[in-house]
Structure 1
């Protein structure tokens, strides 16, 4: 039986008033807590830093995530980064 996997081509990031964020093109949530959310997206890794962060909606079928909380910064890593590289960065 073949697996039906949705392939995403675009990624959009919408930040509203620095306290609501919507990201499309999300493949996986690598880790999250109140201060950091690490996502694997079609364009590479994404790290969201802030305070009181909460994933209010996650739908991996359509590749979207909604985040609430005080968003202080977003950083990106290249597509070649994998989850083991993220773990290596966490334990530096």
Structure 2
């Protein structure tokens, strides 16, 4: 049986001049358009906003993704814990 390469548990992000994005640790592409890329990397939801965005390559086995366009925002989207959970940690 051939082993599949494991997607890294942590992600690495390289942004070149706000025009080219290289990222490792990507497990899925959840959605994309010319204005927004939604991906999951190392279990975290990541949203990339911009203009003329396009995914130039994505390898699910290695977790490598490259995208081009004018990148205006890169953010991790995580849910806040309910107040009760934050109080009783």
Q: TM-score range by the shorter chain?
A: 0.7 to 0.9
Partner of 1:89: none
Looking at secondary structure, tell me which structure has more strand per residue. Answer: 2
Greater Rg, structure 1 or structure 2? 2
Stretches (4+) displaced over 3 A: none
Partner of 2:78: 78
Deviation at 1:4, TM superposition (A): 4.8
The answer to whether the 8 Å contact 1:11/1:43 transfers is no
For the aligned residue pairs, the C-alpha RMSD in angstroms reads 2.3
1:30 aligns with 2:35: no
Say if 1:7 and 1:14 are closer, same or farther in 2 by CA, change over 3 A. Answer: closer
Note the residue ranges of structure 2 that are not aligned, 5 or more in a row: 80-89
Note the residue ranges of structure 1 that are not aligned, 5 or more in a row: 80-92
Q: TM-score, normalised by structure 2?
A: 0.79
Deviation at 1:33, TM superposition (A): 0.3
Say if 1:6 and 1:18 are closer, same or farther in 2 by CA, change over 3 A. Answer: same
Q: TM-score, normalised by structure 1?
A: 0.76
Say if 1:62 and 1:5 are closer, same or farther in 2 by CA, change over 3 A. Answer: closer
